[in-house]
Homo-oligomer: A and B are copies of this chain.
Amino acid sequence: MRNVEIIGYGKYLPQNTINIDGQIRYRAGEGETQLTMAIHAIRQALEQAHMDISQIDLIVAASAVDIQPIPCTAALIHEQIAKGSEIPAMDINTTCTSFITALDTISYLIEAGRYHNVLIVSSELASLGLNPNQKESFELFSDAAAAVIVSKSRDSQTGILYAVQKTWSEGAHATEIRGGLTGFHPKYYSDKTRAEYMFDMKGIEVLSLAAKKLPLMFEECYQESGLSMEDIDMVVPHQASKALSMVMKRCKIPEGKYINKVGQFGNMVSASVPVAMIDAIENGEIKKGNVVMLCGTAAGLTTNILVMRY
């Protein structure tokens, strides 16, 4: 048990939406960037926590794709909200589950007293990298941002009860953007290579690997944590795709016990889990004291499960 508590949260979705067969997808409009969305979410989180940025002692950017190769995304966020301060800024990245990994990792530093109020922000401009020729991903992703402020819990019941991460690199190339950094430099950009700089998802491959590995991981989670599905009030899975209910069924997570808003939000990459969680809190689907399971698969293939009493 790590006694940490989410004391503030904010989310941001662009005004501009598109509707694909009844599924809503968010698309950043003029002037909306990965950075501006992050800042909107952060300001809301600070306001909600009745806090000022000066009370934050660590800024963690937990996005899949970054804004610039150098410096890290957290430093660019720092510039917008904390310039003139000396708050440390760092990035933690496990692609789509970056938010869960960041919350999990940073909880140890809060528990040990190193940091007191940590801002974690996930922001994604997925639409910029989508390939119109790859229907399954083009129609799935949304732009969004979410931020939370995490602190030491005010009571001994609230905190992280269990967390685990696993990476199965058999799936390392099942979800990719190959171009833009050292593996395939921007200088090779041409009409012929443009797809290398776009999102490329082999949906069937991801799904079959996840379907094979996930049920066992949930079994292990129950065994190691001593928790059962009955102890969990709500599961917030990564809003990966329309196949979510199929995967949840395979993992024996009953209908009604998990958030499925793929139709409403789409896959918001790393912002998916925090946006879905915040939306569920705002809608009363998650209440203070509830045991909440955050989980998801990410490119890598990485999978995280984190159980917390909210």
Contacts and interface: CB of A to CB of B under 8 A. Distances in A.
A33 to B, nearest CB: 7
A197 B182 CA distance: 11
A264 B3 CA distance: 47
Interface stretch (A4-12, A44-52, A223-231, A297-305): A297-305
Interface stretch (A18-26, A109-117, A240-248): A109-117
A267 interface: no
A186 B189 contact: yes
A69 B181 contact: yes
Given A71-B299, A95-B71, A167-B86, A187 B181 contact: no
Contact of A67 (B75, B183, B199): B183
Contact of A93 (B91, B167, B169, B181): B91
Interface of A: 33-35, 59, 64-72, 74-76, 78-79, 82-84, 86-95, 101, 105, 108-109, 111-112, 114, 125, 128-129, 165-170, 172, 175-187, 189, 194, 197, 199, 213, 298-302
In the complex, the 7 A-B pairs of residues with the closest C-beta atoms, listed nearest first: A75-B300, A71-B299, A79-B169, A88-B165, A186-B186, A69-B177, A91-B93
